[in-house]
Amino acid sequence: MKNIVILSGAGISAESGLKTFRDSGGLWEGHRPEEVATPEAFMRRPEMVLKFYNHRRAEARAALPNSAHFALAELEKHFNVEVITQNVDDLHERAGSSRVHHLHGSLFEARSSLDPALIYPIEGNSIEIGQRCTLGSQLRPNIVWFGEPVPMMEFAMSLSLKADIFIVVGTSLAVYPAASLLQFTPPACHCFIVDPIAEELGTPSSSMTLIGEKAGIGVPTLVKKLLSKRDQSTD
């Protein structure tokens, strides 16, 4: 079975009603990343940071997966599929994808401020000031903030190195190291970029196809093509 690796970003959840970061009206227009998405911001103004993520958690819980998430889950019937997502929502999982790797953490987990290995599920929608880990430190979202290491990166690189097909969906490829994963694909790998601005993100070639559509249209169409090609091939 061929290996398909997917790198998704906020754009795949846009049609589920969740804001992206860098589009007009996106999250980074209302908040500066250094005010809500750095360890320094959390030390300075923990209430503001918790409020930002509490709100996003409530929105993500209320959102539903869209046709792009569901189409990617379909691929698992015929391919080895690994989803590497920069998203902190759980829409890939709720659509049925079984191997989802969250590069930037999860909205639904809290973690110790002292020990990153102390992770706790969040039952309700919020982390409040005064909620502490077993070591006594204030709980924070289990999100990878700017300036912090990306623990999943090595594993994500190892998946990219084995990809036969690599699909990039809904990411501006502006944030590293996530954006570098494309560079780890083997020479024989075929890459697809699905994004309304795909032509700004890649250069078409024999190994790169740009699909300038929203995920809700572009991904199901691509999945249909991959599945029908798979049915016609003998491997």
CB 46 within 8 A of CB 65: no
Residues 116-155 that bind ligand OAD (CB under 6 A): 144, 146
Is residue 89 near ligand OAD by the rule CB under 6 A?
no
Is residue 104 near ligand OAD by the rule CB under 6 A?
yes
CB 202 within 8 A of CB 208: yes
CB of 101 to ligand OAD, least distance (A): 13
Q: How far apart are CA 169 and CA 167, in angstroms?
A: 6
Q: How far apart are CA 177 and CA 84, in angstroms?
A: 13
Which region, judged by CB under 6 A, interacts with ligand OAD, from 13-21, 69-77, 114-122, 181-189? 13-21
Q: How far apart are CA 218 and CA 200, in angstroms?
A: 16
x/- map, 49-88, ligand OAD, by CB under 6 A: -------------------------------------x--
Helices (H), the chain: 27-30, 33-36, 39-44, 46-62, 67-74, 91-95, 153-161, 198-201, 215-232
Residues in contact with ligand OAD by CB under 6 A are 9-11, 14-15, 20-23, 26, 33, 37, 86, 104, 144, 146, 170-172, 174-175, 195-197, 214-215
What residues act catalytically?
104
